[in-house]
Amino acid sequence: MTLPTVAVGALGGTIAMTPAHPGEPVAPGLEAADLVRAVPGLRAVARVRAESLRNLPSAAIAAEDLLVALAWARAQVDARAAGVVLTHGTDTLEESAYLLDLLWDRPEPLVLTGAMRPPRTAGPDGPANVFAAVVVAAAPAARDLGVLAVLDDEAHLARWVTKARTTGVGAFASPGAAPVGRVVEGALVPTLVPAGPRLPALPAPAAPGPVRVALLECALGDDGALVDLVVEAGWAGLVLAGAGAGHVSPATAEAVSRAAARVPVVVASRTGSGPTATRTYGYPGSETDLLRRGALLAGSLAPRKARLLLWALLAGGAEPAAVRAEVARRGSAAS
Q: Does 91 bind ligand ASP (CB under 6 A)?
A: yes
- Tell me which of 2, 5, 14, 90 is the catalytic residue: 14
Q: Could you give the CA distance from residue 210 to residue 214 in angstroms, rounded to a whole number?
A: 13
Least separation in angstroms between CB 57 and ligand ASP: 4
What residue type is 231 in one-letter code?
V
228 binds ligand ASP (CB under 6 A): no
Strand order in the sheet with 213-217: 213-217, 237-242, 265-269, 296-297
Cα 138 from Cα 133, distance rounded (Å): 9
Cβ atoms of residues 83 and 138 within 8 Å: yes
**Maximum alpha-carbon separation in the chain:** 66
DSSP state of 24: S
Return the number of the residue (12 or 205) whose C-beta is nearest ligand ASP: 12
Asked if 217 is part of the footprint of ligand ASP (rule: CB under 6 A), the reply reads no
The CA-based angle 103-132-152, given to 5 degrees, is 95
Provide, rounded to whole angstroms, the least separation between the CB of residue 217 and ligand ASP: 20
In the list 4, 83, 114, 246, the residue contacting ligand ASP (rule: CB under 6 A) is 114
Rule CB under 6 A: is residue 124 a binding residue for ligand ASP?
no
- Is there a contact between 191 and 182 (Cβ–Cβ < 8 Å)? yes
CB atoms < 10 A from the CB of 177, how many? 18
* Stretch of 69-77, 84-92, 134-142, 274-282 lying at the interface with ligand ASP (CB under 6 A): 84-92
14 catalytically annotated = yes
> Which of 5, 55, 87, 90: binder of ligand ASP (CB under 6 A)?
90
Q: How many residues bind ligand ASP (CB under 6 A)?
A: 9
CB of 2 to ligand ASP, least distance (A): 34
Give the DSSP H/E element, type plus range, for residue 313: helix 303-315
Contact flags string 45-74 toward ligand ASP, x per CB under 6 A: ------------xx----------------
3-state secondary structure of 178: coil
Element (H, E) at 6: strand 5-12
Q: Would you say 119 or 285 has its CB closer to ligand ASP?
A: 119
Q: Is 14 in the site for ligand ASP (CB under 6 A)?
A: yes
- Kindly list the residues in this chain that would bind ligand ASP in the complex (CB under 6 A): 13-14, 57-58, 89-91, 114, 116
**Residues carrying an active site annotation:** 14
